[in-house]
Structure 1
Amino acid sequence: MRRYETIVIVKPGAGETEFSTVSDKVTGTVEGFGGSIVRTDRWGLKKLAYPIKKETQGDFLYVEYAGLPDGVKEMERLLRIDDRVLKFMTVKTQDVFIPDAPKPEGLAGQETASADSDEASE
């Protein structure tokens, strides 16, 4: 699995139910393709830097998730044909992501050792 972040800008006049429908569509598609949602956040209504489809404001949705490329492709296809969505962008943040994986002990020991040596040198 890979880790992704997607930001969706929804039309401001869409209303609460329409916004939650778009949010459910995103999370449902990711989970339908075997992915898992890490975090969902509603950033609220913000002024856009330039008009998009004659709109000067947009309601922002941020979703961080782990999934397969096929799930991302399908989600973007659904967002592209949805009239409520002004714009969206997906960014791959990690190539290999294992949700809830324990941190290797060797790395944890190195971090504390380097922090201790930094404090000792001061």
Structure 2
Amino acid sequence: MRNYELVMVITPEADEAQATSTVENISRFITEHGGTVSSQEQWGTKRLAYPIERFREANFVLTEFALEPTQTVELEASLKSSTDVLRHLLVKKSTKAK
């Protein structure tokens, strides 16, 4: 398994319950596909540098998790199909040599 970081930009039209549900659905997807979520951090509502789908601000969420590399394709497809997620960034965490 590899370690990943996922930053999601969630529409400000989603109320707190919808945003929480979206984050929980992604966490559930990760655990159902054999991964583990190590941390989740709500960054809150931030002003965007440029409009995304007519929105000037959005809610940001950071999730750190471990997952098999083959499952990330399905995860990204799930994120793209979500109407509440405006943008996302999925990156592999680097492992520092000691």
1:50 equivalent in structure 2? 50
Query: More strand by proportion, 1 or 2?
Result: 2
How many positions carry a matched residue from both structures? Answer: 96
Separation in 2, partners of 1:24, 1:18: 10
Separation in 2, partners of 1:23, 1:84: 10
Query: More helix by proportion, 1 or 2?
Result: 1
Show the 5 A alignment for 1:4-15: 4-15=4-15
Normalised by the length of structure 1, the TM-score is 0.74
SS in 1 for 2:28: helix
Identity of aligned residues (%): 29
Q: Whose relative contact order is higher, 1 or 2, with alpha carbons under 8 Å and at least 6 apart?
A: 2
RMSD: 1.3
Structure 1, unpaired ranges of 5+: 96-106, 108-122
8 Å CA contact 1:29, 1:71 repeated in 2: no
After TM superposition, where is structure 1 displaced by more than 2 Å over at least 4 residues in a row?
none
Q: Aligned-pair distance for 1:17?
A: 1.1
- Structure with the greater alpha carbon radius of gyration: 1
Structure 2, unpaired ranges of 5+: none
